[in-house]
Amino acid sequence: MRENTVKNIVLAAVCLALCLVLPFLTGQIPQIGSTLCPMHIPVLLAGFLCGPWWAMAVGAAAPLLRFALFGMPPIFPTGTAMCFELAVYGLVSGLLYARLPKKTASIYVSLIGAMLAGRIVWGVVMAVISSVTGSAFTWAAFLAGAFINAVPGIVVHILLIPVAVIALKKAGLIKT
């Protein structure tokens, strides 16, 4: 039990570190750098690597820590909504993967389920923030922010994360 806890702490720390570093790499790509959603990748991977609770912690902490260290993403409203969104990504990817059969299709189901749940939570949080601040958050704004503008990131996640999970399973970092 103790060895598993230490392993999960280390894997969660690596994923959190990747959340801090990856935006620097994608930020160098004009026009689409931020739409690749680089912080989402390590959080989703954390769900597969170290389970739902560690991944939820990574997702909730990543935007706060990145703001504290680098001033990005802006903490309000973007960073606040991202904390909830990424926490749900980690939680749902970990919960679904733990409960589904350990087949390749389960990776995709867990990933897509987590992405949908996280984007819905992001929309709910943005709607609450908008109602409190008196700003507008329309259905069109939700669709644009959660799906249309995020298409490059969604594609990258669907292509990259299953390949990474399969490779990590073969390397013995993910239980089969």
Structure tokens belonging to residue 146: 């959660």
Q: Is residue 176 part of a domain?
A: no
| Domain-embedded: residue 101 | yes
Helices and strands of the chain, counted as H and E runs: 7, 0
In sequence order, what E strands does the chain have? none
Confidence of residue 143 (pLDDT cuts 50, 70, 90): confident
**Is the pTM here over 0.85, yes or no?**
yes
CA pseudo-torsion sign 7, 116, 143, 132: negative
pLDDT at position 38 over 60: yes
For 157, the enclosing helix (H) or strand (E) is helix 151-170
pLDDT digits (tens, 9 = 90+) for 52-104: 999 999 999 999 999 999 998 889 988 999 999 999 999 999 999 999 998 99
Q: Range of 68's domain?
A: 2-25+35-170
Tell me the average pLDDT across 7-15: 94
**pLDDT confidence of 24, banded at 50, 70, 90?**
confident
* Domain assignment of residue 89, yes or no: yes
Residue 45, domain member (yes or no): yes
- As a whole number, the mean pLDDT across the chain is 89
Q: What are 144-147's contacts with CB under 8 Å, separation 24+?
A: 146/119, 146/120, 146/122, 147/119
Please indicate, yes or no, if residue 175 is contained in any of the structural domains: no
Whichever domain contains 84, its CATH number is 1.10.1760.20
Q: How confident is the model at residue 162 (pLDDT cuts 50, 70, 90)?
A: very high
The number of folded domains in the chain is 1
pLDDT band at 26 (very low <50, low <70, confident <90, very high): confident
> Do the Cβ atoms of 16 and 65 come closer than 8 Å?
yes
Residue 79 in domain? yes
